[in-house]
Amino acid sequence: MDTNTKGISFKWISPFMKQCFVTAGVALNMLNHGTVISFPSALLPQLRETHFIEIDDSSTSWIVSIVGFGLMTGVIIIPFIIKRYGRQLINLTSAVLITLGWIIICLSKTTSTLIISRFIQGVANGFTAIIGPVLVGEYSSTKNRGAFLAVMSASLFVGVSLAHATGSFLSWQKSSLICSIISFLDIIIIIFSPESPIFLARKEKYAKCKKVFHWLKGNDEDEELIEILNSATTKHQHNDRIEYNTDCLNRIIKIARKCVSTLKRREFYKPIIIMLHLHAINLWCGATIYDALATDILHAIVGPNVNVSLIILCMDLLTLVTNVLSIFFIRKFKRKHVLIFSVSINIVSYLLIAGYSYLKTRRMLPFDCPIVGILLCNLHSASINAGCVSIPNIIAGEIFPFEYKGVGGMVCLLFFSVNLSITLNITPYLFTTIGLSGTYSVFALLVCYSLLISIIILPETKDRTLLEIENELRGKSIVRDNIELNVLVH
């Protein structure tokens, strides 16, 4: 909310610091996303050891997998509420649901309460997965947007690491209590954060939009404010004409025609095609495969007699470093350049590991040095976190036009979830049939295909306003000479 509405003025706080504050509300929600995903790694071993809650294979499976069902529920709900209730309220609801889930887990004495709490948190994760990039993209200035969106990926990793760390040294009840305190802090930050200026403009709250925009970004970016207001007023006039002309038509025909019309619009289908390929890079670059099959992969590449836990710890530290460096890269260089650089290294590392593994299994190497395999694995890990994961998350917060953020995000995340399930199911089978070398070669080809398509159709988004990106997708130019809007801004 605007601090001026409370009678408080913090003029000494820069717009950048205000953007850091509101972005923290989203980043902590993304951190909570990571803790929710990784919490079973701490919970289940302790339950098996202490028998505080009796679990069997069936309940274990449900405790782990129910978050996925909750996430899909949240993703499906988002398109129906994002344009009506706004971004800030949905982000707040997500934080409240996650906090509620942690409290229930902390007090749980049965598997059913654990499963219910995990489902609630899954729904919250579904909200965060779509609303997080959208809200950060609309809060931040064009020069800071990429870095702030990159923080989302880093926050997810920190959440995963936090769940692992607290679960290793504390009981699962204390671990969930710590997570609940973090999510409660997130609630406080979100309560004192404003609604998105773009959403306010689309709801015809122009004065409040102007006030929030200037609070977030100062008075030096009024050109973007004019674009936001101009786009919003144009959209309202168009919607009024549609309602007037179609009141007498059958409702079903109206909906069907609207759906067909939407599917034909390039600003609808082009961002979806872009994000489907970027999500494919995110999935096939190796991040999820390492998470699920790290031990088997490291034994195959490095050797059977190695300390896998130590190697994974070193790779986690490298992941943290490369996530931090990626924020700098994304702020300094164009999105497509970072994407091409990181994905190219990813493809090369895939092929190097495939070749090394092929020669190693056939005893064709003149040496057998584990350090070579370790270096190749770390190179692959660095490429994943340098841009393969962060760039898709950044583009997701920039590429969708206002009216399609909900449905576009839903379509892409549903595709990602289905693709993830298929990939995790067939990867062990591929390892068995064609080996690690063959599997990595297949993934290299898939990533290469996705990169080529992305290079061709992805517009450069760095240092451009969201309205400029939206209008390029529409094939239109922005009108900048609206006198009434200039009067409103000034």
Give burial (CB, 10 Å; 0-12/13-18/19+) of 157. buried
What angle in degrees, to the nearest 10, is found between the helix axes of 308-332 and 142-169?
A: 160
- Measure the CA–CA gap between 14 and 400, rounded to whole angstroms: 29
Give the span between the Cα atoms of 10 and 321, in whole angstroms.
34
How much is the pLDDT for 337?
Answer: 92
Q: Distance between CA atoms of 162 and 310, rounded to whole angstroms?
A: 18
> CA 292 → CA 43, 305, 409, distances in Å?
17, 20, 25
Distance CA 151, CA 158 (A): 10
Q: Which residues contact 67 (CB under 8 A, 6 or more apart)?
A: 36, 37, 118, 119, 121, 122, 125
Yes or no: say if 401 and 470 are a contact pair by the CB < 8 Å rule: yes
> What does pTM read for this prediction?
0.78
Output the pLDDT for position 47: 81
The CATH H-level (homologous superfamily) assignment of domain 12-193 is: MFS general substrate transporter like domains (1.20.1250.20)
> Any idea which residue has 């769940």 for tokens?
163
Q: What pLDDT score was predicted for residue 124?
A: 92
**pLDDT at residue number 3:** 44
H or E element: which one contains 75? helix 57-85
Residues ≥6 apart with Cβ < 8 Å to 235: 202, 402, 403
| Amino acid 201: pLDDT | 86
Q: What is the maximal distance between C-alpha atoms in the chain?
A: 80
The one-digit pLDDT tens for each residue of the chain (490 residues) are: 444 434 344 565 888 889 999 999 999 999 988 888 878 877 877 887 887 877 777 777 788 778 888 888 888 898 888 888 888 899 999 999 999 999 999 888 888 898 899 899 989 988 988 888 888 888 888 888 888 888 888 888 888 878 877 877 888 888 889 999 999 999 999 999 999 888 888 888 888 988 988 888 888 877 888 888 887 776 655 554 444 444 555 666 766 676 777 777 888 888 999 999 999 998 898 887 776 667 778 888 887 777 777 887 788 788 888 888 888 888 888 989 999 999 999 999 999 999 998 888 888 877 778 888 889 988 998 898 888 888 988 898 888 887 788 788 888 888 888 887 788 778 888 888 898 899 999 999 999 999 999 999 999 888 888 888 888 887 765 444 443 444 444 4
- What was the pLDDT predicted at 243? 47
Token output for 405: 């953020």
Q: How far apart are CA 198 and CA 209, in angstroms?
A: 7
Nearest to 212 by CA among 203, 231, 202, 225: 225
116 in Cβ contact with 72 (< 8 Å): no
Closest CA to 466 of 379, 410, 416, 398: 398
How many CA atoms lie within 13 Å of 147's alpha carbon, on the beta-carbon side? 17
CB of 145 closer than 8 Å to CB of 398 = yes
The domain over range 266-473 is classified in CATH as 1.20.1250.20: yes
The pLDDT value given to residue 290: 75
Of 128, 140, 302, the closest CA to residue 213 belongs to: 140
> Phi, psi at residue 465, to the nearest 5°?
-70, 160
Listing DSSP states for 20-55 in one string gives HHHHHHHHHHHHHHHHHHHTHHHHHHHHHHH-SS--
| pLDDT computed for residue 186 by the predictor | 92
Reported as type and span, the H/E element at residue 247 is none
CB atoms within 10 A of CB 146: 30
Q: Report the Cα–Cα distance between both ends of the chain, in Å, rounded.
A: 21
Taking residue 106's Cβ as centre, other Cβ atoms within 10 Å add up to 17
Residue spans of alpha helices (H) in 384-476 = 390-396, 405-433, 435-457, 466-474
Please provide residue 367's backbone torsions phi and psi, each rounded to the nearest 5 degrees.
-150, 165
Quick one: pLDDT at residue 45?
A: 79
Which distant-in-sequence residues (6+ apart) come within 8 Å of 27 by Cβ? 151, 152, 155
- Structure-token match 């990626």, residue found: 326
